[in-house]
Amino acid sequence: MPRSVVVWVEELYRAHVAGVYNVAYRVLWNRGDAEDVVQATFVKAFLRVGQLADPAKVRAWLLQVAYREAIAILRRRRDLPTNPADMPSQVATSMGPAELAVASAVAAELSAALYKLAADERVAVVLRDVEGLSMREVAEVTGVGLSAAKMRVHRGRQSLRVLLENSEVRS
């Protein structure tokens, strides 16, 4: 692989690997499989290097590949072990001990609530509210129309609101 291509893909990788991993994990709830999705996604980036020139589109493209790879793993392995308690760290390491404890508790409670959502609604919320894609990009990534994407985000948010209603994470 030419050095210039490796440098270019590494820039993409460093900018987007956290989002790719997050989308994969929220579909699969399994670290090892989410890492396999990261691998498969950026292998495809190497293969498509000439077609990813538009920086405005590359993020949605990567998340779409990750989402499809994750769904493919799910379909191949119906018995996939999932464990929302077996979560990697979700908090910034620059926080102090007290902030870390609070942030970890919030992240864990939110994660448990996300886990309870319908899969299509969870992915829509993750793409829109966590990864910051536009509603149109959410529709493209998940392969549905704009109104369906909006409905999934709406239902996911409302389910989260109810699930977290009596939670201490809410101010």
Query: Which residue, 68 or 128, is less far from other proteins as judged by CB?
Result: 128
- Record the tokens describing residue 152, joined without a space: 């999934």
Tokens 């498509």 sit on residue: 48
Site for other proteins in 30-89 (CB under 8 A): 35, 38-39, 42-43, 46, 87-89
Q: Which long-range contacts (CB under 8 A, 24 or more apart) does 71-76 make?
A: 71/27, 73/28, 73/33, 73/36, 73/37, 74/27, 74/28
Q: How many residues bind to other proteins according to rule CB under 8 A?
A: 53
Residues that bind other proteins (CB under 8 A): 1-3, 6, 10, 13-14, 17-19, 21-22, 25-26, 35, 38-39, 42-43, 46, 87-93, 103, 106-107, 110-111, 114, 125-126, 129-132, 135, 150-151, 153-154, 157-158, 160-161, 164-165, 169-171
